[in-house]
Structure 1
Amino acid sequence: MSRAFVKEGTGELEPLPDLPVSPHPNYVTPRGLATLKARLLARQGELAALKARAERLDRLPEAAAERDIRYLEARLRTAILVEPVAQPAAEVQFGTRVVVEMEGVERAFEIVGEDEADADLGRIAPHSPLARALIGAEVGDLVVWRRPAGAVELEVVAIAPLDPGA
């Protein structure tokens, strides 16, 4: 085991540094809030299993689980729930699914909380460059998404509130 986080003489680990918390407001969808709660419960279960091990020489996994639990608890304390169905779907905003045409191809994106964002699933955080370009746009609007590979023009094809059950 690495001695970097071990207190001198006691064999106890120093708490791992906390994970960085975003400076942005912590908006969450109902799905995002449920996911955060499930992640917290899972991590608490993992920590209990780690502490129940007969052989506990390596305490680093426990420290990592404790750090993750602190992070998830902080995210839940600061969560600002936004109900997508309560939002008008006339313009792109947090909690909406937007379909755009980009270079002749239609793509769908969901604007969701940071902890729920996943580019592979088309879920983007509200402060991402793409979301910032889309927020406030209406169906038929052309918006410019400035990205490192060059600016791309997007046409907003459809807007809908996120399905709370999905």
Structure 2
Amino acid sequence: MDRPNYITPTGYAALRAEYDALLGGERPKLVEVISWAAGNGDRSENGDYIYGRKRLREIDRRLGWLSRRMKAAKVVDPAQQEDRARVFFGVTVTIADENDNQRTLVLVGDDEADAAAGSVGWSSPFARALRGAAIGDLRRVALPAGEREYEVIALTYP
């Protein structure tokens, strides 16, 4: 990876929990089912065997991805941020557009971004435009619907 994979402690714990659940829970049970299905004879028309092998490949692929992401992760605790007057990783920022419509966003790691919940990935256009901004600063954000200007209204860190 050419840039660090910043992640909050909570986000890293979620990746770790998913990895442990797949490796210690779902995968062993699935291997057991596949082994049982393979012992039933003809594998070409055995749905349990065919589906089980397919699901096992999906789990192994996900485990590999999770492992790589955790290895590349740089855990950053937003509560330890020294400069709380500017937008940095982990901040909860309130912004307003030209029509005074306000939005509250939390800048988190890309692996823990959830736009519906207001969590925006660190390398998203919003986060890139807002980095380093202070209260009262105007920033332009290139969005699919066109470029918009936002004013930083409030900043809070955990």
CA change 1:40–1:110 in 2 (3 A) is same
RMSD over equivalenced CA pairs, Å: 1.4
Corresponding residue to 2:131 among 128, 131, 135? 135
Q: CA deviation at 1:148?
A: 2.1
Matched with 2:111 is: 115
Summarize the alignment of residues 12-161 of structure 1 with structure 2, pairs less than 5 Å apart: 23-44=2-23, 45-53=25-33, 54-55=36-37, 57-58=49-50, 59-87=53-81, 88-102=83-97, 103-161=99-157
Q: Percent identity?
A: 38
Deviations 1:31-61 (A, max 9, x none): 1111111111122221112112132512010
- Within 1, Cα distance between the matches of 2:85 and 2:7? 20
Structure 2: gaps spanning 5 or more residues? 38-47
Q: CA deviation at 1:124?
A: 1.2
Using the size of structure 1 for normalisation, the TM-score is 0.80
Aligned length: 141
CA change 1:67–1:52 in 2 (3 A) is same
- Within 2, Cα distance between the matches of 1:72 and 1:99? 31
Q: CA deviation at 1:127?
A: 1.3
Worse overlay, 74-83 or 55-64: 55-64
- Within 1, Cα distance between the matches of 2:120 and 2:29? 34
Q: CA deviation at 1:141?
A: 0.8
Which of these two proteins has the greater Rg computed from alpha carbons?
A: 2
- Within 2, Cα distance between the matches of 1:119 and 1:86? 24
Amino acid at match of 1:69: L
Q: CA deviation at 1:23?
A: 4.7
Worse overlay, 53-62 or 141-150: 53-62
